[in-house]
C-alpha cells in the first residue's frame, strides 16, 4: 500500500504552485499518493498564508483538529508563509507538529520529513533554479513560477519577510517549463510571482537579463500555447511598452490585476507603493482605451493607519472611475515586524467595518451594471471544470466565469458561448460554435 498525503493549501496562487511542487517531490522520491481524507493520511501538510492575522489564528485550532483525527503514527507538517514567520514557535505551541518548512524552502520537503522537529525557514535560500518534479492539479492550465520573493517594502506587507528577496528564474527554465506543460496538454499558462512585471531585476548567477515584456514575447512564441495569464503585476511597473505588448499580443489574456491598495496619494506614500492616484488612473485609462474589452481586478485595503474620510473618498473615486470587474477588499491587519505595525494612528474598528461595507456595496452596484452588458454577447470560453446539473464552466479570454450545458468531453476545449442569463459572479450561456 502506498503512503497517503493530505495537503491543505491556503492563500495565493504561489502557494498553490508550492503545494504542487511538494506533492510532486513526495510522490517521486517517497511514493506518496494524494488523499482527500486527513484521517487516512500518513502525512498531513498545511500550506499556510500569513498576509492577514485571521488565518494565522485559525491555524492552531485547525492543527488541533488534525492532531485529534489523524491516524496513529501520521506526521503533521506546517509549510508556507506562517511557517517562515513563526518558525519554531509553531512546535512550541503545538508540540505534536513534526516539522516546519518555510515558503522559500519547498525543495527541502523530502529532507525535513525525516528529521523530527526540523525547522527550515531560511529566507535567503535560493530555489530559483531548483528543478522540481512535475505535478499539476489541472491538466488544462499550468501554474509556472517566474520569480521568488519580493523586493518591495510595502509598509503593510509581511511577504518580503516570509518569501525573502526577489530572484528571477532564468528565462530558459521558464520557457522549457512552458513547453513541457503544453506538451502535457495545457493550453493555458499562468505565470506567477509577487511582482511579475519586475522580472529580470536580479538573477542568481549569470543569466541573460530580459524584462517581463520580453519574457511574455518569448513565452508566447511557444507553439501550441493559446493563452497566457499572469499575477501579480505592480501598477508602478506598468510602462507603455508593457501595456502595448499586453494589448497587441493575441495570446495574452485580456484581464489585468492592478492592486490599488488605496486611492489616496498620501496613503500610497505611507504604504510605500511608489505611485500616485493619478498614475494609477492614467494606467487604467490607457488599458481601457487600448483594450476596450479588458477586465481589471484589484486589491484594496481599507482603514490603513491614518486613513481620513478624504483618503477613503479618494479610494471610492478610483472605484467609480475604473469600475473594476473584480475587487478583493480587506480591512487593514497589522502584521508583525512591518513598518506600518508601528504606526499609532490606527482606525477605529467600527469605522473600518463601515468603510469596507460601503466599498463592497458600491462594487456590487458596479458589478450589476457590468454583468447586464454581457447579456446576448458571445465569448470564447476555455472549459476547465465540471459543475453540478450537467454544466461545465470556464473563462473567457477577459476572465468572465461562464457556465454552459455540457459534460467531460468539453473539458480542455474552446467553444463560443452566447450569454443567456447574467449574475454577479457567474454567467450562464449556450454553446453556439
**Interacting residue ranges for ligand F3S, rule: CB under 6 A:** 150, 152, 154, 157, 159-160, 194-195, 234
What DSSP letter does each residue of 366-407 carry, written as one string? HHHHHHHTTTT-EEEEEEEEEETTTEEEEEETT--EEEEE--
Residue closer to ligand SAH by CB (options 200, 259) is 259
Using DSSP bridges, classify how beta strands 99-102 and 75-80 pair: parallel, antiparallel or unpaired.
parallel
Across the strands, what pairs with 430? 418
* Residue 382 contacts which entry, ligand F3S, ligand SAH, none (Cβ below 5-8 A, type-dependent): none
At residue 241, φ and ψ (nearest 5 deg) are -60, -45
At residue 138, φ and ψ (nearest 5 deg) are -125, 130
Residue closer to ligand F3S by CB (options 35, 195) is 195
Binders of ligand SAH among residues 209 to 268 (CB under 6 A) are 232, 259, 261
> Of 85-93, 154-162, 215-223, 393-401, which segment contacts ligand SAH by CB under 6 A?
154-162
**If we measure between CA atoms, which residue out of 305, 307, 285, 306 comes closest to residue 296?**
285
At residue 417, φ and ψ (nearest 5 deg) are -125, 130
**Closest distance of CB 196 from ligand SAH, Å:** 9
> Of 22-30, 80-88, 268-276, 331-339, which segment contacts ligand SAH by CB under 6 A?
331-339
**Closest distance of CB 159 from ligand SAH, Å:** 5
Assess 27 for contact with ligand SAH (CB under 6 A). Answer: no
Q: Figure out which of the listed residues 32, 199, 230, 332 binds ligand SAH, where binding follows CB under 6 A.
A: 332
**Backbone torsion region of residue 262, taken as left when φ is above 0, otherwise alpha when ψ lies between -120 and 50, otherwise beta:** beta
- Taking the C-alpha atoms of residue 2 and residue 278, their distance in angstroms, rounded to an integer, is 58
Size of the site for ligand SAH (CB under 6 A): 17
Q: Figure out which of the listed residues 51, 291, 359, 381 binds ligand SAH, where binding follows CB under 6 A.
A: 51
> Of 119-127, 150-158, 287-295, 305-313, which segment contacts ligand SAH by CB under 6 A?
150-158
Assess 105 for contact with ligand SAH (CB under 6 A). Answer: no
Buried b (16+ CB within 10 A) or exposed e, 155-175: bbbbbbbbbbebbbbbbebbb
Q: Figure out which of the listed residues 23, 109, 148, 301 binds ligand SAH, where binding follows CB under 6 A.
A: 301
The stretches of 184-239 forming alpha helices (DSSP H) are 212-220
Assess 299 for contact with ligand SAH (CB under 6 A). Answer: yes
Assess 330 for contact with ligand SAH (CB under 6 A). Answer: yes
Residue closer to ligand F3S by CB (options 225, 296) is 296
- Taking the C-alpha atoms of residue 219 and residue 15, their distance in angstroms, rounded to an integer, is 22
* Residue 295 contacts which entry, ligand SAH, ligand F3S, none (Cβ below 5-8 A, type-dependent): none
Quick one: cell of 411?
A: 473539458
Answer whether 427's CB lies under 8 Å from 394's CB.
no
- Per DSSP, the three-state class of 107 is helix
Long-range Cβ contact pairs of 336-344 (< 8 A, separation 24 or more): 336/85, 336/158, 337/158, 337/161, 338/155, 338/156, 338/157, 338/158, 338/161, 339/153, 339/155, 339/272, 340/155, 340/156, 340/270, 340/271, 340/304, 340/305, 343/155, 343/270, 343/305, 343/306, 344/305
Other C-beta atoms lying within 10 Å of the C-beta of residue 421: 13
Assess 198 for contact with ligand SAH (CB under 6 A). Answer: no
**Closest distance of CB 149 from ligand F3S, Å:** 9
Q: Figure out which of the listed residues 69, 137, 333, 398 binds ligand SAH, where binding follows CB under 6 A.
A: 333
* Residue 161 contacts which entry, ligand F3S, ligand SAH, none (Cβ below 5-8 A, type-dependent): none
**Closest distance of CB 157 from ligand F3S, Å:** 3
> Of 137-145, 152-160, 399-407, 421-429, which segment contacts ligand SAH by CB under 6 A?
152-160
- Taking the C-alpha atoms of residue 7 and residue 46, their distance in angstroms, rounded to an integer, is 6
Q: Figure out which of the listed residues 195, 315, 396, 399 binds ligand SAH, where binding follows CB under 6 A.
A: 195
> Of 112-120, 129-137, 156-164, 204-212, which segment contacts ligand SAH by CB under 6 A?
156-164
DSSP 155: T
* Residue 160 contacts which entry, ligand SAH, ligand F3S, none (Cβ below 5-8 A, type-dependent): ligand F3S
Residue closer to ligand F3S by CB (options 82, 194) is 194
Rule CB under 6 A: which residues touch ligand SAH? 51-52, 150, 156-157, 159, 194-195, 232, 259, 261, 299, 301, 330, 332-333, 335
Amino acid at each position: 500500500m502506498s503512503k497517503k498525503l493530505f495537503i491543505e493549501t491556503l492563500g495565493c496562487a504561489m502557494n498553490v504552485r508550492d503545494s504542487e511542487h511538494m506533492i510532486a517531490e513526495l510522490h517521486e522520491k517517497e511514493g506518496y499518493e494524494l488523499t482527500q481524507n486527513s484521517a487516512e493520511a500518513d502525512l498531513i501538510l498545511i500550506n499556510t498564508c500569513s498576509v492577514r492575522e485571521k488565518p494565522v489564528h485559525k491555524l492552531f485550532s485547525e492543527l488541533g483538529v488534525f492532531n485529534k483525527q489523524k491516524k496513529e503514527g501520521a506526521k503533521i507538517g506546517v509549510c508556507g508563509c506562517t511557517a517562515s514567520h513563526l518558525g519554531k514557535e509553531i512546535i512550541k505551541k503545538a508540540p505534536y507538529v513534526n516539522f516546519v518548512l518555510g515558503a522559500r524552502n519547498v525543495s527541502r520537503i523530502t529532507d525535513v520529513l525525516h528529521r523530527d522537529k526540523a525547522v527550515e525557514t531560511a529566507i535567503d535560500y535560493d530555489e530559483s533554479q531548483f528543478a522540481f518534479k512535475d505535478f499539476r492539479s489541472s491538466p488544462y492550465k499550468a501554474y509556472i513560477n517566474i520569480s521568488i520573493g519580493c523586493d518591495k517594502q510595502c509598509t503593510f506587507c509581511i511577504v518580503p519577510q516570509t518569501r525573502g528577496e526577489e530572484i528571477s528564474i532564468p528565462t530558459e527554465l521558464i520557457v522549457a517549463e512552458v513547453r513541457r506543460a503544453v506538451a502535457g496538454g495545457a493550453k493555458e499558462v499562468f505565470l506567477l510571482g509577487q511582482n511579475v512585471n519586475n522580472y529580470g531585476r536580479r538573477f542568481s548567477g549569470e543569466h541573460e537579463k530580459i524584462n517581463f515584456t520580453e519574457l511574455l514575447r518569448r513565452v508566447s512564441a511557444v507553439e501550441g500555447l493559446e493563452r497566457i495569464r499572469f499575477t501579480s503585476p505592480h501598477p508602478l511597473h506598468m510602462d507603455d511598452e508593457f501595456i502595448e505588448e499586453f494589448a497587441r499580443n493575441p495570446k495574452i489574456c485580456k484581464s489585468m490585476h492592478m492592486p490599488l491598495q488605496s486611492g489616496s496619494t498620501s496613503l500610497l506614500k505611507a504604504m510605500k507603493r511608489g505611485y500616485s492616484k493619478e498614475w494609477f488612473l492614467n494606467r487604467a485609462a490607457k488599458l481601457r482605451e487600448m483594450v476596450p474589452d479588458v477586465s481589471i481586478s484589484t486589491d484594496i485595503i481599507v482603514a490603513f493607519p491614518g486613513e481620513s474620510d478624504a483618503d477613503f473618498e479618494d479610494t471610492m473615486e478610483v472605484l467609480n472611475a475604473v469600475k473594476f470587474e473584480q475587487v478583493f477588499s480587506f480591512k487593514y491587519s497589522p502584521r508583525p515586524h512591518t513598518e506600518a505595525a508601528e504606526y499609532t494612528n490606527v482606525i477605529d474598528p467600527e469605522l473600518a467595518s463601515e468603510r469596507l461595507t460601503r466599498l463592497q456595496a458600491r462594487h456590487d452596484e458596479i458589478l450589476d451594471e457590468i454583468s447586464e452588458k454581457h447579456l446576448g454577447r458571445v465569448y470564447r470560453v476555455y472549459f476547465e471544470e465540471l459543475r453540478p446539473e450537467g454544466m461545465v464552466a470556464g473563462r473567457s479570454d477577459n476572465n468572465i466565469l461562464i457556465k454552459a450545458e455540457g459534460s467531460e468531453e468539453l473539458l480542455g476545449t474552446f467553444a463560443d458561448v452566447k450569454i443567456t442569463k447574467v449574475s454577479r459572479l457567474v454567467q450562464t450561456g449556450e454553446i453556439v460554435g
